[in-house]
Structure 1
Amino acid sequence: MNKHKATIHSDNQGYEVLLEICKLYEVLSDEDAEKHGQVRVIDEAGKDYLYPITAFLIYRQHS
């Protein structure tokens, strides 16, 4: 079974074009990024990039 992660963006400073506040974003698994306080998110451009995990309110895994 695939697991999906989701997060809600809460801090738009510096990411105004690529992320919307209070929007749910899909998260791609990246254990190395998480060890460095980052999360890999598919943004408004439809591409995955690393963002600081502190810019998001919720970070949880769905099955």
Structure 2
Amino acid sequence: MSVDADTVRRIAHLARIGVKDSEIAHLQGELNAMLKFVEQLEEVDVDGVEPMTSVTPMAMKMR
């Protein structure tokens, strides 16, 4: 999946971020790099891996 300039403008509008036209190409590259990384993470086999609450083993506090 890749992001085009119109999508970058829409994301900026939804996030209420003022983006100049000169910044669109840079942001487009950044968003595409993020999406590529997420696509790589989807390829990782996580079957049988239990979710973690922390990197160190610890019990959740009871309220």
Per the shorter chain, which TM-score range?
A: under 0.3
Structure with the higher strand share, 1 or 2: 1
TM-score, with length taken from structure 1: 0.19
Structure with the higher helix share, 1 or 2: 2
Q: Which has the higher contact order (CA 8 A, sep 6+)?
A: 1
Rg comparison, structure with higher value: 2
